[in-house]
Amino acid sequence: MTANSLIELTLEEIARDYQPGTLVWMKRSRPKEWGTMLTIEERINKMALGGDRDGLRGALDEYQGLILNMVKEFRTTKRENENLLEQRVFNFQMGRPVPPGTR
């Protein structure tokens, strides 16, 4: 397999589970992981251009794992925020006060 084929395959696998908004959320909320992703991308480029297929496969696996973990975390955070909003709306409709610190 060529370097381009390996990269395309990895991106296709990521795209299957990708949640729109993940990268924007990651850059804003997970700067350490964002920096790690950029570092891995740099390694991928160097290994692809240098012909290091074994190193490229390892870097692509690391990249895929990082992105998919961020997708899972983003989905969980999004779901928690949606649940919190639903609870706030319900409390408002029921005339219940909003608990301190949750506004």
Q: Hey, where are the domains in the chain?
A: 3-93
Phi, psi of 97 (to 5 degrees): -70, 155
pTM: 0.76
34 has pLDDT over 80: yes
Q: How confident is the model at residue 99 (pLDDT cuts 50, 70, 90)?
A: low
pLDDT at 52: 93
User: What's the rounded mean pLDDT across residues 6-20?
Assistant: 96
Q: How confident is the model at residue 3 (pLDDT cuts 50, 70, 90)?
A: very high
